[in-house]
Structure 1
Amino acid sequence: MNLIRIVIAEDDQQIAEIQKRFLERIEGFELVGIAHSLEDAEDLVDVMQPELLLLDIHFPTGTGLDLLRKLRARNSSVDVILVTAAKEVDSLREALHGGVFDYILKPLVFERLQETLDRYHQHLGKFQAMQTLGQRDVDTILPYSTTATSNDGLETRLPKGVDALTLEKVRSVFSTHSHALNAEEVGEYIGASRTTARRYLEFLVSNNELSAEVSYGSVGRPERKYKNI
């Protein structure tokens, strides 16, 4: 997959710089512009045609939600992740109506941004892998799908941040590896970060599909490893 192009729209220059440095640490993404005003953000999206826009809500001349409405009204294909201090429920509701991919509250934490961008990368990969569309495909893409089939054939309700497709990838890792693996190793197998892999591993532990043990390395640092029960 080609690099995913991103524009940052943030009026606070220091916060925008933090976001820029965070993005530089995450593979698979290319920052193509930073806007400190809504007007500049609109122009950058029009000219650069990025796949993704990291958008704040509060600007001196309006709100990011105003820009979101404009983009949707003109059928812009850019996906939007809101990164904002706005904690009003109405703002979240309007953002969801505008079809945002995620809503991240400030202060921005690197692991939270990385987790979201990992999910977005997987989201695009699902579309590229599809030839035709079936209901199971829809259920793995839509963010409101909350069930998946466990190994015993029963439907299991999935928590937020755990999608069925990635869960099956993690299960497949342990179907071909009998020895214990840590989160970093599993992340490499499924093409995700250690943080993302750990979230799925802990879910499988809670679902009694995997067991976890603490291993001490040569320097005495404890490490959780996972294996089939």
Structure 2
Amino acid sequence: MIPVRVLIIEDDVRISKVHAKFLLEVENFELVGVANSIKDGKEMAEILSPDLILLDLFFPEGNGMDLLYELRQEHSAVDVILITAARDIENLNNALKGGVFDYIIKPVFMDRFRGSLQKYENYLKKRNKVKTVDQEFVDGIFRDKALSSYEEEKRTLPKGIDPITLKDVLRAFEKAPSGGMSAADIGDLAGLARTTARKYCEYLLAIGELQIKLEYGTIGRPERKYISKKNNQ
């Protein structure tokens, strides 16, 4: 197999050297360049035409996600593995929408790094060995990628918070009235028990996605109403 040509775009020179060293230890991968800024990364991507970019997210002059979207808008065929310290669900979702092949959270360990590249190599072998596909072949490709995405998303969340359930809760808030909803209301919309819905709402409250409003009735404790900050802007 022809070596996979890889460009590293990482602002921290020390980390880029570590990733370059990791890359040299993986068979069938060739380092074609290292860029330490978004500007240099874009220019090198255009000149070198790599097969794969290992892309950081945070740069002093901007966000690596902007470069990812720019590459997609220009219909670049390069694949991207995002390597970042970002652990929030929003960046992960944006990365998935941008079509990244994998999402690795810093600090990067050799086993995880090697596993990602080997998975990418296997993907290329599957993709390149056929000219036409059947449903079984397509399902195999997407199943592998979906499992990888789910596993990576799960790693970014605290114990007990499932990414699929979290998305169901977020979708429920898209239907929320301006006055907010109780945990029971969210549970009904998302198909969850009230206690489960409340756990997810409290998590979203803790990370700043929701705000709380106490609604006082005639008797008893006030009811907690959860309001989406996005829907309330």
Q: TM over 0.5, yes or no?
A: yes
The aligned runs of 1:1-229 (5 Å cut-off) are 1-142=1-142, 143=144
SS in 1 for 2:112: helix
Structure 1 residues 56 and 145: CA distance shift in structure 2, 3 A: closer
Moved over 3 A (4+): 143-146
How big is each residue's C-alpha offset from its partner over 1:17-38, in whole Å with a ceiling of 9 and x where there is no partner? 0001001111000000000000
The alpha carbon displacement at 1:92 in A equals 0.2
The question of whether the paired residues in 1 share the 8 Å contact of 2:101 and 2:145 is answered with no
TM-score, normalised to structure 1, is 0.63
Q: Which residue of 2 aligns with 1:188?
A: none
2-structure distance, mates of 1:85, 1:67: 17
Q: What amino acid is aligned across from residue 71 of structure 1 in structure 2?
A: L
> Unaligned 5+ residue runs, structure 2?
153-233
Larger Rg: 2
The question of whether the paired residues in 1 share the 8 Å contact of 2:6 and 2:30 is answered with yes
Q: What amino acid is aligned across from residue 91 of structure 1 in structure 2?
A: N
SS in 1 for 2:128: helix
Q: How many residues align?
A: 149
Q: Which residue of 2 aligns with 1:217?
A: none
Q: Which has the higher strand share?
A: 1
The alpha carbon displacement at 1:127 in A equals 1.1
Q: What amino acid is aligned across from residue 37 of structure 1 in structure 2?
A: S
Identity, in percent, stands at 42
Q: Which residue of 2 aligns with 1:169?
A: none
Structure 1 residues 9 and 144: CA distance shift in structure 2, 3 A: closer
The question of whether the paired residues in 2 share the 8 Å contact of 1:23 and 1:31 is answered with yes
> Unaligned 5+ residue runs, structure 1?
147-158, 162-229
Task: Name the Cα RMSD after superposition.
Answer: 1.5
